[in-house]
Amino acid sequence: MAMTLSQRADALEHQMIEELDRKVVKSVLFTSGEKDPRQPIMPQGAAREQGKPKHFLMGDDPRLPRMPEKPTLLDFFKYRFAPANHLLQSATHALKGGHSEKVVLACLLHDIAVSGFIRVDHGYWGAQLLEPYVDEEVSWAIRYHQALRFFPDESVGYAYPDAYIRYFGEDYRPEPYVEQAYQEARNHKWYMTSRLITLNDIYSFDPNAVVSMDDFIDIIGRNFKQPKEGLGFDGSPVAHMWRTIIWPTKFL
């Protein structure tokens, strides 16, 4: 027999309470830098606090929008990546500039690590997330845009970003590994693909600009190999990284 609307609401509420009864523990990643890493990860006996047996969260976090069972790249944009305006505006800029689909896709995806995962070394994390699903040139360009952002190229009109002076101060100099990555990229056959990400990577936007993912659905369809099992469940070498974005608070 089908449940009435109020029975369904009751069942849903019951389920929410059940789920919230799970203890949520943050990964070290989310607290590192804020606490002494030599201290224990969690207080002794934290699982049994308040005398009430509590289990640790092992699946969906009820505080987050639930992902579909077989999530697509678009689902990650919808449910897990912070408002993607920066990515959409960069990709729109590349599209209007008449660049290839590879370049447009690279611009659309260049900062997904920042939007949904990890800031530090975001070019490398982003490239790794994408490697099984895009042309090698696209992930290569995303990996190296991180370094190229710090180095001007007057031949194409790319200057050191004013925003970086504000962000990091006048005296900031990229670390040697960033300089080395720049040197590698400078002499690579795909240098310009990565450079084009930096040229379309704009921080001062027209706040009234209208951007939409609709412009990129077909480009994603043609250039992103969406696994039929869903991102996170295809057994690829990076599936666990997508699962971590789906379930950032899963205990193990």
**What's the rounded Cα separation, in Å, for the pair 131 and 137?**
10
Residue type at position 68: P
Question: To the nearest whole angstrom, how small is the minimum distance from the Cβ of residue 53 to Fe ion?
Answer: 45
Are residues 92 and 206 in contact, defined by beta-carbon separation less than 8 angstroms? no
Nearest approach in angstroms of CB 74 to Fe ion is: 20
SS3 35: strand
Helix (H, G, I), strand (E, B) or coil at 56: strand
Nearer to Fe ion, 201 or 220 (CB): 201
Minimum distance of Fe ion from residue 110's CB (angstroms): 5
CB of 175 vs Fe ion, minimal distance in Å: 16
62 or 174: CB nearest Fe ion: 174
Residue carrying the six token digits 């869903």:
230
For residue 172, give the DSSP letter: -
What is the three-state SS of 75-131? HHHHHCCCCCHHHHHHHHHHHHCCCCHHHHHHHHHCCHHHHHCCCCCHHHHHHHHHC
Closest contact distance (angstroms) between CB of 178 and Fe ion is: 12
Judged by beta carbon, residue 67 or residue 73, the one nearer Fe ion is 73
135 by DSSP, 3-state: which? coil
Which residue, 8 or 166, has its beta carbon nearer to Fe ion?
A: 166
CB 77 within 8 A of CB 63: no
Number of neighbouring beta carbons within 10 Å of residue 237: 9
The secondary structure of residue 57, as a DSSP letter, is P
Structure tokens at 66: 């639930």
- The residue among 127 and 220 lying less far from Fe ion, judged by its C-beta, is 127
Q: How far is the CB of 137 from Fe ion (least distance, A)?
A: 17
Closest CB 113 distance from Fe ion, rounded Å = 8
Rounded to whole angstroms, how far apart are CA atoms 36 and 21? 28
Question: Which residues are at the interface with Fe ion (CB under 5 A)?
Answer: 111, 201
Q: In this complex, which beta carbon is closest to Fe ion, that of residue 134 or of residue 201? A: 201
CB 152 within 8 A of CB 165: no
Considering beta carbons, is residue 22 or 93 the nearer one to Fe ion?
93
